[in-house]
């Protein structure tokens, strides 16, 4: 093992080297973990590895939650077996990742499947340790390959596939409460850094020197915020030494790939603690400068529409329902799309091309070139393009709308707009009833909608934005199109459709889509 190898070559670590802690085995009578809270599939993974002669433990946040009497949502396992050795023990196991190679052991199929993530104990690497091992002629080829470009000149860890002993694996983890190992067979918790004591004190403390740890991996700055938000509801607080360097260390994020920052932003917003994460960012002085799109989220988090979207995301995660980044980001950037569309309509541009141009402009300005933008952009575009079509409740349009794959996302977006009074709540109620009704009832609803339009006098109305948002550049109602494809029709036809008896809800469309 690498730690023993270094010690043999160099003697005891010099002052300032990482403290790998002292192994403490805590029995069930002390830690009090309820075995009934442990997932049987995670127990099976541990048992299989141990029967094959390897060390194996449940690790990380699952142990922390078990100590707090909570049933973890996910279970991770750590072992001294290599990824290839782990894969060979299970029928459905897959090695994934390059920077961090891990194994997914899969149980079940379809939506009911569960993944147990298995990682190999990793060595703790800083510049000094890596260079000392690489510079010795006794270092094996395999060790050299694992350490190649593992740490850059600033101390940032670039690769983490160097296997090591359990104590080093514990030290390279972020926080003491996430660095404990639980053996469900013996019910012993292995603790190197006082994680059990910190859990009891509700303290979130970085292992080692926080400044050095943020330099090793600047994304730890974002993870500190995420864990602080997640555990704040249980009374946890960041230790002062862990929190103090965050603002200054923020500059290190400039060297992190944009795609990785984008992924970390989504974890902040889609793990069930979005509102708490926004509050932590403000509290810790990190409201700006982490990632441009995250800056927009924080800036708009107090607006009625975005706050409702964040709260709805937290609710869905708490209920175990799926969430999509496209929906949340569509909510965050809707004001930009709406205002850009309104400005183009004021210039007499054709409505639907104008909406598409406004969307393209927002993508270029706000999203940029990030991983997954293709599908992300397509889903967001569908949600936005669907909004003016909801105003069309006659003819064949409603029947076609409910058959679209993204109808539910578009409707949920409309419902949020109704909740903040950006559109009439009766419109959202009508679509909810229509989507759940049988064919005969749907026909009746369409006829009722048509009768309401015939009875309603034509009034030119200025569209209204959501509460507290800008009214600038809002076009008058009858500049917006109907939603059955007549946006580019000759003006004569559009004038005929405005006569009494031929209305199709154009006025309401402008209020909902451009307001």
Cα-Cα end-to-end distance for the chain: 64
Q: Which two tokens stand for residue 7?
A: 């010690």
Local structure of 487: helix, strand or coil: coil
- In 3D space, the residue among 198, 195, 197 whose CA is nearest the CA of residue 182 turns out to be 195
Q: Which of 126, 160, 167, 174 is catalytic?
A: 174
- In 3D space, the residue among 424, 427, 354, 338 whose CA is nearest the CA of residue 390 turns out to be 427
The secondary structure element, H or E, covering residue 468 is none
Q: Which of 74, 412, 419, 424 is catalytic?
A: 74
How does strand 180-183 pair with strand 114-120?
A: unpaired
Local structure of 57: helix, strand or coil: strand
Our answer to whether residue 126 is catalytic in this structure is no
Q: Which of 76, 191, 198, 379 is catalytic?
A: 76
Q: Give CA–CA dist 133/8, Å, rounded.
A: 11
The secondary structure element, H or E, covering residue 95 is strand 93-96
Q: Give CA–CA dist 335/8, Å, rounded.
A: 63
CB 141 within 8 A of CB 150: no
Backbone CA torsion sign across 461, 462, 463, 466? negative
Q: Give CA–CA dist 430/411, Å, rounded.
A: 11
Our answer to whether residue 174 is catalytic in this structure is yes
Buried b (16+ CB within 10 A) or exposed e, 425-445: eebbebbeebeeeeeeebeeb
Residue corresponding to tokens 């209020």: 511
SS3 content of the chain, % helix, strand, coil (to 5): 55, 10, 35
* Strand partners for 182: 58, 189
The secondary structure element, H or E, covering residue 237 is strand 237-238
Q: Give CA–CA dist 512/392, Å, rounded.
A: 12
Our answer to whether residue 34 is catalytic in this structure is no
For helices 304-318 and 407-419, angle between their N-to-C axes, nearest 10 degrees: 130
Q: In the sheet that 24-26 helps form, which strands lie side by side, from edge to edge?
A: 24-26, 188-191, 180-183, 56-59, 76-79, 114-120, 102-107, 93-96
* Strand partners for 85: none
Residue-level length of the chain: 515
Active-site residue numbers?
Answer: 74, 76, 174
């Amino acid at each position: 093992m690498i730690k023993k190898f270094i010690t043999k070559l160099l003697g005891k670590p010099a002052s300032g080297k990482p403290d790998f802690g002292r192994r403490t085995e805590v029995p069930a009578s002390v830690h009090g973990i309820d075995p009934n809270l442990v997932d049987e599939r995670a127990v099976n993974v541990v048992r299989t590895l141990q029967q094959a002669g390897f060390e194996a433990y449940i690790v990380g946040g699952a142990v922390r939650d078990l100590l707090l009497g909570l049933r973890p949502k996910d279970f991770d396992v750590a072992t001294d077996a290599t990824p290839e050795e782990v894969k060979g023990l299970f029928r459905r196991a897959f090695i994934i990742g390059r920077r961090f190679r891990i194994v997914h052991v899969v149980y079940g199929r379809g939506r009911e499947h569960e993944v147990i993530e298995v990682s190999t104990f990793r060595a703790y690497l800083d510049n000094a340790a890596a260079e000392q091992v690489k510079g010795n002629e006794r270092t094996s080829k395999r060790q050299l390959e694992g350490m190649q470009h593992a740490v850059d000149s600033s101390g940032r860890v670039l690769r983490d596939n160097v296997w090591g002993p359990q104590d080093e694996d514990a030290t390279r983890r972020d926080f003491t409460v996430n660095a404990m190992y639980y053996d469900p067979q013996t019910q012993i918790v292995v603790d190197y850094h006082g994680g059990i004591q910190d859990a009891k004190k509700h303290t979130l403390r970085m292992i080692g020197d926080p400044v050095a740890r943020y330099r090793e991996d600047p994304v730890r700055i974002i993870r500190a915020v995420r864990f602080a938000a997640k555990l704040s509801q249980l009374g946890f607080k960041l230790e002062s030494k862990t929190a103090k360097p965050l603002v200054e260390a923020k500059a290190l994020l400039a060297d992190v790939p944009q795609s990785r920052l984008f992924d970390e932003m989504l974890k902040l917003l889609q793990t069930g603690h979005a509102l708490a994460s926004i509050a932590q960012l403000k509290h810790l002085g990190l409201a700006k400068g982490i990632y441009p799109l995250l800056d927009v989220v924080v800036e708009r988090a107090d607006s009625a529409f975005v706050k409702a979207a964040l709260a709805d995301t937290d609710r869905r995660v708490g209920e175990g329902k799926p969430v999509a980044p496209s929906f949340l980001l569509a909510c965050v950037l809707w004001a930009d799309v709406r205002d850009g569309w309104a400005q183009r309509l004021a210039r007499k541009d054709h409505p639907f091309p104008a909406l598409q141009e406004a969307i393209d402009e927002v993508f270029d300005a706000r999203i940029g070139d990030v991983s997954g933008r293709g599908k992300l952009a397509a889903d967001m575009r569908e949600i936005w393009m669907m909004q003016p079509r909801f105003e069309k409740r006659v003819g064949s349009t409603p029947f076609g709308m409910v058959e679209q794959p993204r109808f539910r996302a578009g409707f949920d977006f409309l419902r949020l707009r109704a909740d903040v009074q950006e559109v009439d709540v009766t419109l959202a109620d009508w679509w909810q009833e229509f989507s759940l009704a049988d064919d005969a009832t749907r026909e009746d609803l369409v006829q009722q909608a048509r009768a309401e339009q015939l009875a309603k006098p034509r009034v030119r109305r200025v569209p209204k934005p959501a509460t507290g948002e800008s009214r600038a550049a809002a076009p008058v109602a009858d500049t917006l199109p109907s939603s059955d494809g007549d946006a580019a029709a000759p003006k004569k036809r559009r004038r005929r459709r405005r006569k009494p008896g031929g209305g199709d809800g154009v006025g309401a469309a402008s209020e909902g889509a451009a307001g």
